[in-house]
Structure 1
Amino acid sequence: MEQLAKMDLTDLKKKIEKGKYILFFSADWCPDCSFIKPAMPEIEAEYKDYNFLAVDRDENIDLAADLGVMGIPSFVAFNNGEEIGRFVNKDRKTKKQVEEFIDSLN
């Protein structure tokens, strides 16, 4: 999974303007983020239509705020730059819940 560099909303919109993206917001200190991280390679392999970007919420706090992401781990999906769905809250997420979220996008 590509680690998103520190950027603002304008730069992010340029990066994701073509294609399908899922942004995975997390932080190193977050135990619920550590819970889902081991499942992410499998999820990525299962959903090859999407480009997955890891976003360090603390490093990109302004971007997270602009996107309304405060709780982590969280996921925000885009298609050609337009938001198509979000799974945003502070609760622990299972692999099955993340897969159900992605399935709901189609």
Structure 2
Amino acid sequence: MEQLENEQQFEELKKEQTVFLFTADWCPDCKVIEPDLPQLEAKYTNYKFVSVDRDKFIDICINHDIMGIPSFLVYKDNKQIGSYIGKERKSIEQIDDFLASL
């Protein structure tokens, strides 16, 4: 999964069809889903998947009301088309259902 490098890249990627995964190295719930994320990337090839380090990009998190991780924002053509935000643990099946609903 590609890693977000800067805020300008975030703005550019919003113009594409992108799934942003907000995560952090210290997040135990993020570690649980991490091994299965490549399967979702392979299933949803129409999306670019980008990991956003919550600690490095706290301003993006604040601007998008992301208080819990892992959380997901999905953009297409510079418009947010979906969000799966919350502090509860998310299973890979729940994430799959969310992506399938878009």
- The TM-score bracket by the shorter chain reads over 0.9
Q: Which amino acid aligns with 1:13?
A: E
Q: Which runs of 5+ in 1 are unaligned?
A: none
Aligned partner of 1:6 in structure 2 is: 6
Root mean square deviation of aligned Cα: 1.1
- 2:40 maps to what in 1? 43
Aligned length: 102
1:84 aligned residue: 81
Q: CA deviation at 1:14?
A: 2.5
Distance 2:87 2:12 in 1: 28
CA distance in 2 between partners of 1:3 and 1:67 (Å): 18
Q: How far did 1:16 drift?
A: 2.4
Per the TM alignment, residue 3 of structure 1 is displaced from its structure 2 partner at its CA by: 0.2
Q: Aligned AA for 1:33?
A: C
Deviations 1:3-62 (A, max 9, x none): 00132xx65222321x21100000000100101111110110010000000000011000
Paired residues of 2:23 and 2:70 also in contact (CA < 8 A): yes
Whether the 8 Å contact between 2:69 and 2:85 is mirrored in structure 1 is yes
Among 51, 66, 71, the residue aligned to 1:69: 66
What TM-score do the two structures reach when normalised by structure 2? 0.94
SS of equivalent residue, structure 2 residue 95: helix
Q: 1:86 to 1:44 in 2, by over 3 A?
A: same
For the residues of structure 2 that align with 1:43 and 1:103, how far apart are their CA atoms?
Answer: 10
